[in-house]
Copies of this chain bind each other. A is one copy, B any other.
């Protein structure tokens, strides 16, 4: 079976082996050594020299925890809403009691620096901006470097919270150089691990904004960062998953980010060229290299996917929300390299001939 869904991604053997290392007691020097090393490698992933930490949870909890920890009820926040996941962050901003503003684009479209600037300038006292680096529901990416820069021109001190769930370790991301305040990613994407861990990088500005903590307040990043400084964990850590994520980060460190970004880019380019030849159509206007969302004029993508899955054991994702049965999505993250893309295109070609 070739699983090419844009998360979860297949867990490669070398990470499976790491996940199976024996459990160790999670209080003490051995754990602290392992976790401190993981955090150092995580700084490389985010390209930051500032504190990082992890939390048990799915990506949704990660972005929720970032918003909860950095922002207070009543504060104005702007959510860039370009698809299913960013819509979720806007929704949650309202749950948190934030003064929630949205700048919306049609699904598949990205936002320009000028549009974000205009939206931000229109909100007096804007405190935070939540940006989804890549909207997994449509495959669209924002030019995070450009829009963060543009945003800083009009709101120098605004807190920039970034959902980098489908981008960290897949496409270029520089938390410090781009002056991002809280970057969030999850284990089941480019980190090639089971779902269950979220990772954070927090800038000095982000740290100043952190909510003062009570001992028990699971989503509060301050608890995690304070313990992480000692290599420790506020609650029971997911020891095995930390082994797996550390192994992925070590691999990324050895291979280096530019090499991995380039491989992802090559896989995406290769797939898209083949797709065009087969009559498929790229869905988003500004696609992320992490995944390709595409339509198949004259074909029902769900029928095509079913055939690919049943006959070729190649599994893609379908569309979400109003894009259900309109598009298919294929991952280029982790082990989904050019060889995997060849297999996917062969299966797609056969499926299009039959359906």
Contacts and interface: CB of A to CB of B under 8 A. Distances in A.
Nearest to A3: B23
Q: Tell me what chain A mostly uses at the interface: helix, strand, loop, or mixed.
A: loop
Contacts of A196: 56, 196-197, 238, 241
A86 to B, nearest CB: 10
A216 B61 contact: no
A95 interface: yes
A274 interface: no
A36 interface: no
Contacts of A215: 87-88, 91
A239 interface: yes
A326 interface: no
A53 to B, nearest CB: 14
Contact of A91 (B22, B88, B216): B216
Given A56-B57, A216-B60, A7 B92 contact: no
A11 interface: yes
Interface residues of A, number: 53
Contacts of A216: 60, 64, 88-89, 91-92, 95
A62 to B, nearest CB: 9
Contacts of A19: 19-20, 240
A354 to B, nearest CB: 21
B241 A194 contact: yes
A56 B317 contact: no
A217 B22 contact: no
Interface in A17-49: 19-20, 22-27
Please give me the 5 A-B residue pairs with the lowest Cβ-Cβ distance, nearest first.
A92-B216, A88-B216, A194-B240, A91-B216, A196-B238
